[in-house]
Amino acid sequence: MLNVLREVAAAVRARMSRVVVMPAGDAQSLGRRGEAVAAKHLQVGGYRILGRNLTSRHGEIDLLAQDPDGRTVVVVEVKAGVGDRVRPEVHVNAAKRRKLISLAPFWARRLGLTDRPWRFDIIAVVLRPGEEPVVRHHRGAFDARGRVG
């Protein structure tokens, strides 16, 4: 019986050594770093950043960008994580999509961009210590009705 308990304890220790525990304040820092990486990714790809952390009383848009086509305005939701066990982009659920869709007309009017086509993208950024960030850009991740593309 003692051997079984030792084996179970060893298995638990091995599994826990792979778990990343993040202090509470680090989640915001992770989000900010993810947004910076996502903005750089967009700029390298020819996008122009129109705004960061656009906040209203109804919510926030992480990044607002102009597509390289020079016309399309892109609402970008950035999700950052430290691993791929649960891909960060899966956290953009139906409620979050509805929120972003409802914010787009407000910012279109406020920024004088009502005559432009709009698109909703998700950028997932995986930040592992000592490694280059992994960026996954989901262009047209969902449409103005919230349907996943």
Distant-in-sequence, close-in-space partners of 136: CB < 8 Å, separation ≥ 6: 87, 89, 123, 124, 125
In a domain, 133, yes or no: yes
Alpha carbons 8 and 68: distance in angstroms, whole number? 55
Residue 62, domain extent: 23-142
Higher pLDDT, 4 or 41: 41
Sort strands 134-142 and 118-126 into parallel, antiparallel or unpaired: antiparallel
Q: How many domains are there within the chain?
A: 1
Residue type, 112: G
Q: Quick: pLDDT tens for 43-94.
A: 999 999 999 999 999 999 999 999 999 999 999 999 999 976 889 999 999 9
> Which of 21-30, 63-72, 105-114 is least confident?
21-30
CATH number, domain of 49, equals 3.40.1350.10
Q: What's the pTM?
A: 0.81
Alpha carbons 24 and 13: distance in angstroms, whole number? 23
Alpha carbons 3 and 1: distance in angstroms, whole number? 5
Q: What angle do CA 77, 78, 84 make, to 5 degrees?
A: 130
Q: What is the mean pLDDT of residues 11-26?
A: 49
Q: What is the mean pLDDT of residues 102-126?
A: 96
In a domain, 147, yes or no: no
